[in-house]
Amino acid sequence: MKVVQLVKHGNDPSSFQVTEVNKPVPKASEVLIKVEGFGLNYADVMARLGQYRDAPPLPAVLGYDVVGIVEAVGQGGDSNIIGKRVVAVTEFGGYAEYAAARAEFVYPLPDNLEDSQAAPLLCAGIIGFRSIRVAGVERGERVGLFGFGASAHLAIAVLRAWNCEVYVSTRGESHRKLAESLGADWVGSEREKPPVALDRAITFAPSGDVVVLALGCLRKGGVVAINAIHLDRMPEFDYDRLLWGERQIRSVANMTRQDAREFLGIAAEIGLKPKVTLFPLEQANLALAAVKADAIDGAAVIVP
């Protein structure tokens, strides 16, 4: 099968090589998936740069969030899933025509979601949903989204379905226009504060300054959830003015299988249709550069 391998860390285009390798053989606890597409996220960028704490040894085939068709199951596996459309979380291997995934991290794909639209749901979608949960969002509350990329543009659909008021602060005119088109009640630049006190806030930008900005927008007792793999730094801030009053800062580290099941059910129920930009497998380098530069409105998806 054709794969795109990471052969060295860094931004150089030669860090990726297109090559041929044997198709993986699924182990007893795995299924083999014919990849129809996969969503990119910032973990891919960090793995390429050698900054991801769980990065594999090189050469490596990256890619965590796969949509495709189950072609085979490992010994003792449930053969009824063969031929089914699924989404899956793989350790590594999405940048390929086939990928093996642990059966417990493979989920049936609702019929009303196209392959390319389902690809961003696993990481960007579920981690956004997890962030909503970690922030403790209740229906009808005022929620701020700070940064508006792949994850936030999916989270807003859930918040709107829950009748929440949504306030978006983000850089980039195209990101702001996307937020407006998806029903945000207020949209401002990355330096602007929403005109009301927020019950909850979720930060998507990997910036400590953004966390402090979001904290300053909360009512007493409000919560900031940080949806970021890392922060550039955490600046000093005025405790008495910003955190006192039982405001809270919480980190979002992982998603659970229950999060996945619930979010995919919600996505099917509300007819969630992510905005995607498609790239062929050979342009993985270009796609990752666009994700790193925050140049994609919505989500980037690669199709073999």
pLDDT tens figures, 162-182: 999 999 999 989 999 999 999
How many domains would you assign to the chain? 2
Q: Is residue 266 part of a domain?
A: no
Residue 29 structural domain: 2-113+275-303
Instruction: Identify whether residues 28 and 105 lie together within a single domain.
Output: yes
Question: What is the average per-residue pLDDT within 19-35?
Answer: 92
CATH code: domain of residue 298:
3.90.180.10
Instruction: Identify whether residues 230 and 199 lie together within a single domain.
Output: yes
Question: Strand 106-108 and strand 85-89: pairing?
Answer: antiparallel
Identity of the residue numbered 169:
S
Q: Is residue 130 part of a domain?
A: yes
Q: Is residue 267 part of a domain?
A: no
Averaged pLDDT score across all residues of the chain: 89
CATH code: domain of residue 149:
3.40.50.720
> pLDDT for 34-57, tens place per residue?
999 888 877 788 888 887 766 678
Q: What is the pTM of this model?
A: 0.86
Dig out the tokens for 214 from the structure: 């979001």
Q: Is residue 146 part of a domain?
A: yes
